C-alpha cells in the first residue's frame, strides 16, 4: 500500500467509527486558527460530542484530508461518514438551522437551546 492509500484508509476508518469528526488546525480545546476555532466553538457550544483530528500534528493527514474530500481547506466537518463542509458552510448551516436538521436526521445529540441562542445572537 502506498502512503496515500494508508492515509485515505486511516481517514475513512476515523470518519466511519465516529459520528462527528472535525479535521482542524489544533484541537477542540486549543484551536490554532480562527476558522477551526469557529467550527469547534459552534460544536462545543451546541454540546455536540465530536472527535477532533489535529492536521498540524501530521503533514500526511493535513494533505490527505484535502485529497480525500477534494476540498482545499481545513477545517472539514464529517457527520456519519459524510463530508458536510468547511467553516463558511458550517456557519451558514448553523445560522439557517440546517445543521440542526442534519443532526436531527442523523441522530446526533445536540443542545437545541444553544443552537437557538447562536441564531438569536447572530440574527
Domain count for the chain, please give it: 1
* Alpha-helical runs (H) found in 18-86: 34-45, 59-69
Residue range 19-27: mean pLDDT, rounded? 98
Q: For residue 120, what pLDDT is reported?
A: 96
**Residues 113-123 pLDDT 10s:** 999 999 999 97
pLDDT class for 89, splitting at 50, 70, 90?
Answer: very high
**Residues 27-56 pLDDT 10s:** 999 999 999 999 999 999 999 999 999 999
Contacts of 102 (CB under 8 A, 6+ apart): 79, 84, 93, 108
pTM score of the predicted model: 0.95
Q: Between these two residues, 4 and 79, which has the higher pLDDT value?
A: 79
CB 20 within 8 A of CB 39: no
Q: Is 33 annotated as a binding residue?
A: yes
Host domain of residue 8: 3-122
What's the CATH number where 13 sits?
Answer: 3.40.30.10
Residue range 7-16: mean pLDDT, rounded? 97
Q: For residue 3, what pLDDT is reported?
A: 82
Amino acid at each position: 500500500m502506498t502512503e496515500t492509500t494508508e492515509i485515505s484508509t486511516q481517514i475513512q476508518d476515523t470518519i466511519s467509527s465516529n459520528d462527528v469528526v472535525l479535521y482542524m488546525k489544533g484541537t477542540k480545546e486549543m484551536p490554532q486558527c480562527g476558522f477551526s476555532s469557529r467550527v469547534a466553538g459552534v460544536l462545543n457550544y451546541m454540546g455536540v460530542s465530536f472527535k477532533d483530528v489535529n492536521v498540524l500534528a501530521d503533514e500526511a493527514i493535513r494533505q490527505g484530508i484535502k485529497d480525500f474530500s477534494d476540498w482545499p481547506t481545513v477545517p472539514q466537518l464529517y457527520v456519519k461518514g459524510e463530508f458536510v463542509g468547511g467553516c463558511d458552510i458550517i456557519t451558514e448551516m448553523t445560522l439557517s438551522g440546517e445543521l440542526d436538521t442534519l443532526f436531527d436526521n442523523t441522530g446526533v445529540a445536540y443542545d437545541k437551546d444553544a443552537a437557538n441562542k447562536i441564531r438569536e445572537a447572530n440574527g
